[in-house]
């Protein structure tokens, strides 16, 4: 990836325009992360949530690449604090009886150990808590990590209520630098949230981007563009998103698909073509 394949956040952090997601990869995690970085990915997303992520496996994959000469400063490592409601009670990465601030601190230390790193490029709240004051309590604990230098920026995930995002933004000192949401029709593709993000320099990351959008991928508009550029429909959709400053996550597991995901920067859609794809999100 070259310099044009990155976005710079409000906190001056360079974020790759496509990120490798590591959920659900279990025992294959280390191998897949090493492969993804070796082929060119520079952004890795994970979480301190054993229920869905093998964060230690991510760390092993990253470490293997660092041993081969890649510098830690070349990588964007993003992990998450997952509240109790999203954890497997049998595999908790922190003390469930501790207060929320302590849970955040324990989870963060577990992430550093798992990832074999001294800092995170971004620490994300995996989802808002049911009680809004508890969300703020967790965020303030994350702010302490930011101020200590442990995380270069903060973010939130699975936040689909604009007012919820506005309240967070209005009541915290360290503003969210990123939001990571499912990108699908049920939420009208987060149009109002994305408008808020543009206004406040919050970078929008999308997940479930391909799986949730089979109708978009099969639409004649996308298929025609795919034929024109001799690319897959998935590549066209990812390229469109990157050009409107959305960062998609991809969980590709085959070398061919990983290469295809990285190749989205080898071509560029026209403004009219981007507008044509954009109209599909309004159908």
DSSP for 222-280, written as a single string: HHHHHHHHT--HHHHHHHHHHHTTEEEEE---SHHHHHHHHGGGGS---HHHHHHHHHH
pTM: 0.97
- Tokens, residue 15: 């974020």
For 48-95, the DSSP string reads: S-TTT--HHHHHHHHHHHHHTT--GGG-EEEEEE--GGGS-TTS-SS-
Asked if residue 243 belongs to a domain, the reply is no
Residue 283 pLDDT level (bands cut at 50, 70, 90) = confident
Tens of pLDDT along 43-98?
Answer: 999 999 999 999 999 999 999 999 999 999 999 999 999 999 999 999 999 999 99
Residue 175 pLDDT level (bands cut at 50, 70, 90) = very high
Asked if residue 279 belongs to a domain, the reply is no
- Say which residue, 35 or 3, is predicted with more confidence: 35
User: Can you give the CATH number for the domain in which 17 is found?
Assistant: 3.20.20.100
Domain containing 135: what range? 3-212
Instruction: Say how many domains are in the chain.
Output: 1
Asked if residue 96 belongs to a domain, the reply is yes
Asked if residue 148 belongs to a domain, the reply is yes
């Amino acid at each position: 990836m070259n310099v044009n394949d990155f976005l710079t956040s409000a906190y001056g952090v360079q974020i790759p325009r496509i990120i490798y997601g590591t959920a659900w990869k279990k025992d294959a995690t280390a191998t897949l992360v090493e492969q993804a970085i070796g082929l060119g990915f520079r952004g890795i997303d994970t979480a301190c949530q054993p229920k869905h992520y093998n964060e230690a496996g991510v760390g092993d994959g990253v470490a293997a690449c660092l041993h081969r000469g890649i510098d830690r400063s070349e990588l964007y490592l993003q992990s998450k604090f997952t509240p109790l409601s999203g954890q497997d009670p049998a595999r908790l990465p922190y003390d469930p009886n501790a207060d929320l601030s302590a849970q955040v601190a324990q989870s963060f230390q577990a992430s550093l150990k798992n990832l074999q790193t001294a800092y995170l490029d971004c620490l994300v709240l995996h989802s808002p808590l049911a009680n809004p004051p508890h969300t703020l309590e967790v965020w303030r604990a994350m702010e302490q990590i930011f101020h200590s230098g442990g995380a270069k920026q903060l973010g939130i995930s699975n936040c689909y209520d604009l007012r919820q995002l506005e309240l967070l933004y209005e009541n915290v000192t360290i503003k969210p630098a990123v939001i990571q949401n499912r990108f699908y029709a049920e939420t009208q593709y987060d149009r109002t949230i994305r408008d808020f993000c543009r206004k406040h320099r919050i970078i929008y990351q999308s997940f479930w981007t391909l799986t949730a959008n089979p109708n978009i991928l099969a639409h004649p508009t996308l298929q025609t563009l795919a034929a024109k550029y001799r690319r897959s429909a998935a590549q066209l959709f990812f390229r469109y998103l990157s050009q409107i400053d959305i960062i998609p996550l991809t969980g590709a597991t085959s070398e061919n698909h990983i290469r295809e995901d990285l190749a989205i920067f080898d071509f560029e859609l026209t403004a009219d073509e981007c507008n044509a794809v954009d109209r599909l999100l309004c159908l």
